[in-house]
Amino acid sequence: MMTPPEQVPPGRTLHLDVDGVPPVEPGPGVRVRMLPGMPGIRTWVIDLAPGAVWPDLDVHDAYGEAYFVVSGQIVEGDLTHGPGTYVAFGPGTSHRPRTETGARVFGFNYDAA
Please count the structural domains in the chain.
Answer: 1
| 9 belongs to a structural domain | no
| 19 belongs to a structural domain | no
Closest CA to 55 of 14, 98, 94: 98
- Total-model pTM: 0.87
| 41 belongs to a structural domain | yes
- For 31-48, the pLDDT digits (tens) are 999 998 788 888 999 999
| 87 belongs to a structural domain | yes
| 92 belongs to a structural domain | yes
What is the residue range of 83's domain? 25-64+73-98
| 110 belongs to a structural domain | no
- For 75-111, the pLDDT digits (tens) are 999 999 999 999 999 999 999 999 999 999 999 988 7
